[in-house]
Each structure stands twice: as structure tokens, then as C-alpha cells.
């Protein structure tokens, strides 16, 4: 396929207004599936968490998972939604081998939650009020693996394998109303919105919220219209984008691609699109079906969901603090500068730093390690690679430095061994003998050896020319292979100089 032509981003924004809409699927972490008692677990052998209900054998009847309903209500309440006092499930009819039933059990005209909003801050500091149209319950589909093609997609594959472990896993789909007015920051707003949803469902404890495992997935709708016009442009829907960075890139790409097409006088095809992380581009999927095409009808095998007022109010009372409140609280507790805090949020490291501080590290030390050395290593490892280090281990590393047991250079070395799976920082320091030499006798001997080669240093220090000390400190650090505490070496050197005749 020919590579699509793109319009320069700034030029595209000069000519068109961007309208986005976001659909986020959240996989709930209930113990069992939405309509049967099969385990809801990731990573098991294919087709081991299945039963007659989730593979739709004749006569099998579903029953609704109570915890999944409660989790969905919690999500709705956290998004400021109204909760439907009575709602039915619906069948969304389609044929595809990823669901054995030939329909997906979903909600259509009676979603569990509707009419919410969420305040989202973008990197520039501007705050957008994103309106939520609805949040509804549904089941996930199974996983298809296409074998034999070059791309892993169905096109060109020789055969496909199906794993129904995920079929019937509870999902909540959260749909925004069209979002206007984000302008050049629409891609960043899309990513920040998904980040907030992820924070909310994580704080609620209703999802593992791991994007790399597909627990939170985003479909991004993008359309353009000439400035000053009313009518919405034709939209495309880029499916299943599963990292924050990809969401930002995919929205930006679609803006540039559509702007080029519209400016050439052509029309946009209403369709789904696939995001290709490696190429940084989208490609056409299938023509987007309208809701009518799915022949939704009420699910006859399930009774309506009717949460009592008492249940809703008790769930409301159990909600954790809002992400925006949490940020304000953390910013005040940590005492970071506004820029430092925003960088942490944008690097998506709020949780890690909070947990590291909770494990005993000073906020600035936690920030320094996650934003510095660990960010560098993560960057080199590439997208989606998880570093093998826990916040508790980073806190332990920071404590070792604070106690003077290791210096920064040794700490970086220790961190390398932690990432390689050798154990906790303290274990590694003990096992590898990496502790800084705090025995003054050994330091004094090394200082005296260095002074023997630099006879001018003591007179210089006595005359107050402290920069002369650097030469000796450097020589001691080198002789002790970095395991000396430079500050202590300096103190001892000054003592020696003061005692010298």
C-alpha cells in the first residue's frame, strides 16, 4: 500500500478544527468472567478457562457477575455519571470467530452509567472538561492468532488459532461525547484522558489497568472540519491503541492524513483504522458499521440489572479521591516545582514515585531515580518493556545512599544488578562487597599515599586554596575504585592539612 501523504501539522491546524472522541475499554479484574464461573486470568494455557456458557454450547444460560456490576457502577460514579436504576443487556449481533455465540452481550440503549464528565489537564497546563456520554458493561472477545503471514494480521495468514480464555471477561466501555477546542493539543488531551481513566480504575481497584496487557485499550475517533463550520466531518476510528504514547501519535497522524485528503478535495472514508507502532502510521481496517447494522435486541436470557439506591450510595461512599485531587495533594506533599511535577505526570511515573516515597524514600530522591537513571534505561529498552525493579527496591537504594553506605556511582552499578535479577540493593551490596569504605584508617592511608605524589597540596590547602584538594580526592577515589565517600575523604584531608606543620 502506498504511504499516505500527510499535511504539515501546524498547517493542518490552521485550516481545520480537530474533533476527537474516545472510547476506552477497561477490563475488570473480577475473579470470574461476566456471565459464567470461569476464571478471569491472564496468561493461562489457551482454552483452559472455558465452559459451555462462554463457548456458547446449546442450552447454556448466562448469569450476571455481581462484582462486575458493582465495579461498573463505581466507574460510573467516579466519572460523575448518573446510574441507570434499571437496565438490560443487549445482543450485538455479528459473526467473527473470536466470540463463539455470534453475538456479543453488551448494553445498548440502557447503559449502566451515563452523563458524566472528567477534568483533564494537558501538558501546557490547560484544563479541559471532557464530557462522558456513557459507560456500559459488555464482555470481551477471545483472542485470534493469525499464523503464516508476514505481519501477524489476518491478511496473508495461512490459518488462525483461537483462544477463548478472554471470551466473556467483563469489560466496561467508556465513551466520550465529541471533544472540541483542544486544537493543537488534541493528541496530548487524548493521551491525558486515557491516563486519567487508567488512574481512576486503578485507584478504584476494579482493573489491573495494565495497558501493555490490554487491560485498558483506546479507540480514537478523529474528524476535521473547516474552521467556523458547524457540520462534523467524517470520522475514522483507530482501534485498540494500547500505549499512551501511541494514542498521541495515532491522533496526530490521523489529523495530518485527513487534512491532506480534505485539502486535496477528496473525502474521508468512514472506517476503522489500525495503528502500526513500528511505522508510526495507520492503515484502513473495515468500513465502520452503524449501530443499526448490529441488529441489537434485548438479551432474553438475562434479567434486568436493577441496583438499589442503597447499593449505589454505599458504592459512592467508598470512592477513592479523584485523580485531580490526588495530584494536588501529592504536589503539595512532595514539594516539587510545578515543572518537576508536570514532568513526572507526563512521564507517567506518579504511581512509581508515590510507592517509592511510601516505602521510605525522600520525594526528591524517588524522583531523581525514576526520572533519571531508570527513565534512561527504560528508554533504551524500548516501548512496553517493563523494568525488573520495584518501588521498594528503589527506596532501599535511596536509603543506602542516604546512610552513606554507597555513593551515586555505586548505586547505579547496584541498580544494574537489581535489574538483572540479582536481588535487592542491600543484598547485592553485601554479596558483591560494594559498600563504600567508611573505615577512616583505610581512607587516611590512601590520602597519605596520594599526598606523597602531590607535595604541594597541603601548603595550598593551608593557604585556603581549596581547589587543590580535588587532585588528592580524585586520586583517592581512583585508588579505591570508587568505593570511597568523597565527602569524607575531603573532611579527612582538611584535618590532615590542619594538623600539618
Q: Which residues bind Zn ion (CB under 5 A)?
A: 36, 38, 51, 53-54
CA separation for the pair 128, 162 (Å, rounded) = 41
CA-atom Rg of the chain in angstroms: 29
Task: Indicate the helix (H) or strand (E) that contains 367.
Answer: helix 363-371
Q: Cβ closer to Zn ion: 165 or 243?
A: 165
Distance CA 306, CA 120 (A): 31
How many CB atoms are located within 10 Å of the residue 479 CB?
A: 14
Q: Quick one: CA dihedral 258, 264, 268, 274, positive or negative?
A: negative
Task: Give least dist CB 105 to Zn ion, A.
Answer: 12
- Where are the strands (E) in 396-499, listed by range? none
Which residue from 31, 36, 114, 41 is spatially nearest to 75, judged by alpha carbons?
114
Query: Smaller CB distance to Zn ion: residue 98 or 440?
Result: 98
Sign of CA dihedral 236, 237, 239, 243: positive
First-to-last C-alpha distance (Å) of the chain: 83
CB-wise, 36 or 434, nearer to Zn ion? Answer: 36
We find the least distance from the C-beta atom of residue 174 to Zn ion, in angstroms, to be 25
Q: In the complex with Zn ion, which residue's Cβ is closer, 38 or 344?
A: 38
CB of 162 to Zn ion, least distance (A): 15
- Going from the C-alpha of 182 to that of each of 131, 233, 314, 324, the distances in angstroms are 13, 16, 36, 19
Other Cβ atoms within 10 Å of 1 Cβ, number: 6
Q: Which is nearer to Zn ion, 67 or 390 (CB)?
A: 67
Yes or no: say if 484 and 446 are a contact pair by the CB < 8 Å rule.
yes
Question: Is the Cβ of residue 51 or residue 480 nearer to Zn ion in the bound state?
Answer: 51
CA atoms within 13 A on the CB side of 119: 9
Return the number of the residue (55 or 389) whose C-beta is nearest Zn ion: 55
CB 35 to Zn ion: min, Å: 8
- Minimum distance between the CB of residue 139 and Zn ion, rounded to whole angstroms? 10
Query: Torsion-angle region of residue 126: left (phi > 0), alpha (psi -120 to 50) or beta?
Result: beta
User: Taking the complex as a whole, how short is the minimal distance between the CB of residue 95 and Zn ion, in angstroms?
Assistant: 20
Provide the 8-state DSSP code for 290.
Answer: P
Helices (H) and strands (E) in the chain, counts: 17, 14
Scanning 120-217, the segments in alpha helix (DSSP H) are 186-204
Least distance (Å) between residue 381 CB and Zn ion: 37
Question: Shortest gap between Cβ of 30 and Zn ion (angstroms)?
Answer: 13
Strand 271-276 to 236-241 pairing: parallel
CB of 65 to Zn ion, least distance (A): 11
Q: Which three cell numbers stand for residue 243?
A: 500505549
Which is nearer to Zn ion, 138 or 188 (by Cβ)? 138
Ordered alpha helix ranges (H), 437-485: 440-452, 457-462, 469-479
The DSSP annotation for 7-25 comes to --HHHHHHHEEEEEEEEEE
Q: Of the two residues 53 and 222, which places its CB atom closer to Zn ion in the complex?
A: 53
| Residue 33 C-beta: closest distance to Zn ion, Å | 5
Select 33 or 257, whichever has its Cβ closest to Zn ion: 33
Pairwise CA distance, residues 87 & 278, whole Å: 42
* Cβ 50 to Zn ion shortest distance, Å: 6
Smallest distance, Zn ion to C-beta of residue 55, A: 7
Residue 37 or 85: the one with the smaller Cβ distance to Zn ion is 37
Instruction: Report the residue number, 54 or 83, with the smaller CB distance to Zn ion.
Output: 54
Amino acid at each position: 500500500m502506498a504511504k499516505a501523504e500527510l499535511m504539515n501539522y501546524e498547517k493542518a491546524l490552521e485550516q481545520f478544527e480537530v474533533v476527537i472522541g474516545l472510547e476506552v475499554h477497561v477490563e475488570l479484574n473480577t475473579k470470574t468472567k461476566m456471565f459464567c464461573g470461569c476464571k478471569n486470568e491472564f496468561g493461562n494455557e489457551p482454552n483452559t478457562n472455558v465452559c459451555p456458557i462462554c463457548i456458547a454450547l446449546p442450552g447454556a444460560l448466562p448469569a450476571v457477575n455481581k462484582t462486575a456490576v458493582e465495579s461498573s457502577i463505581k466507574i460510573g460514579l467516579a466519572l460523575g455519571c448518573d446510574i441507570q436504576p434499571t437496565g438490560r443487556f443487549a445482543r450485538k449481533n455479528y459473526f467473527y470467530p473470536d466470540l463463539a455465540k455470534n453475538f456479543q452481550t453488551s448494553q445498548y440503549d440502557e447503559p449502566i452509567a451515563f452523563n458524566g464528565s472528567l477534568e483533564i489537564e494537558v501538558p501546557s497546563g490547560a484544563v479541559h472538561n471532557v464530557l462522558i456520554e456513557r459507560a456500559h458493561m459488555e464482555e470481551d472477545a477471545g483472542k485470534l492468532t493469525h499464523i503464516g503471514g508476514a505481519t501477524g494480521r489476518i491478511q496473508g495468514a495461512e490459518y488462525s488459532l483461537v483462544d477463548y480464555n478472554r471470551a466473556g471477561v467483563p469489560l466496561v466501555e467508556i465513551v466520550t461525547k465529541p471533544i472540541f477546542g483542544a486544537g493543537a493539543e488534541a493528541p496530548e488531551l487524548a493521551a491525558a484522558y486515557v491516563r486519567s481513566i487508567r488512574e481512576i480504575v486503578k485507584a478504584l481497584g476494579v482493573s489491573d489497568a495494565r495497558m501493555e496487557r490490554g487491560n485498558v485499550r483506546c479507540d480514537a475517533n478523529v474528524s476535521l472540519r473547516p474552521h467556523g463550520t458547524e457540520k462534523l466531518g467524517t470520522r475514522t476510528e483507530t482501534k485498540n491503541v494500547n500505549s499512551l504514547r501511541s494514542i498521541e501519535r495515532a491522533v496526530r497522524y490521523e489529523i495530518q492524513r485527513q487534512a491532506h485528503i480534505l485539502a486535496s478535495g477528496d473525502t474521508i472514508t468512514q472506517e476503522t483504522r489500525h495503528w502500526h507502532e513500528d511505522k508510526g502510521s495507520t492503515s484502513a481496517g473495515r468500513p465502520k458499521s452503524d449501530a443499526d447494522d448490529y441488529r441489537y435486541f434485548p438479551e432474553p436470557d438475562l434479567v434486568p440489572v436493577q441496583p438499589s439506591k442503597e447499593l449505589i450510595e454505599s458504592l459512592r461512599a467508598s470512592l477513592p479521591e479523584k485523580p485531580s485531587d490526588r495530584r494536588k495533594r501529592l504536589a503539595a506533599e512532595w514539594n516539587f516545582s510545578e515543572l518537576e511535577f508536570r514532568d513526572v505526570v507526563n512521564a507517567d511515573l506518579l504511581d512509581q514515585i508515590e510507592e517509592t516515597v511510601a516505602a521510605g524514600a525522600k520525594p526528591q530522591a524517588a524522583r531523581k531515580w525514576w526520572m533519571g537513571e531508570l527513565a534512561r534505561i527504560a528508554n533504551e529498552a524500548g516501548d512496553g518493556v517493563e523494568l525488573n525493579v520495584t518501588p521498594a527496591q528503589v527506596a532501599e537504594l535511596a536509603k543506602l545512599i542516604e546512610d552513606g553506605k554507597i555513593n551515586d556511582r555505586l548505586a547505579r552499578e547496584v541498580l544494574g544488578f537489581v535489574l538483572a535479577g540479582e536481588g535487592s540493593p542491600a543484598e547485592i551490596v553485601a554479596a558483591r562487597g560494594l559498600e563504600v569504605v567508611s573505615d577512616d584508617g583505610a581512607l587516611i592511608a590512601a590520602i597519605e599515599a596520594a599526598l606523597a605524589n602531590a607535595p604541594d597540596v597541603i601548603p595550598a590547602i593551608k593557604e585556603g586554596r581549596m581547589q587543590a584538594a580535588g587532585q588528592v580526592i580524585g586520586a583517592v577515589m581512583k585508588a579505591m575504585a570508587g568505593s570511597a565517600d568523597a565527602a569524607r575523604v575531603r573532611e579527612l584531608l582538611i584535618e590532615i592539612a590542619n594538623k600539618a606543620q
